[in-house]
Amino acid sequence: MTKDKLYLEYVMTMTMAENANGRKEAVMLLHKSDCIRTALDKVSKWFLILGMKK
Q: State the average pLDDT over residues 45-54.
A: 66
Name the residue with higher pLDDT: 2 or 26: 26
pTM of the model: 0.77
Q: Give every CB contact of residue 23 below 8 A, 6+ residues apart in sequence.
A: none
**Statement: residue 3 has pLDDT above 70:** yes
Q: Distance between CA 41 and CA 31 in Å, rounded?
A: 15
How far CA 7 is from CA of 13, 24, 46, in Å, comes to 10, 23, 15
Q: Distance between CA 33 and CA 11 in Å, rounded?
A: 8
Over residues 9-49, the pLDDT tens digits come to 999 999 999 999 999 999 999 999 999 999 998 887 776 66
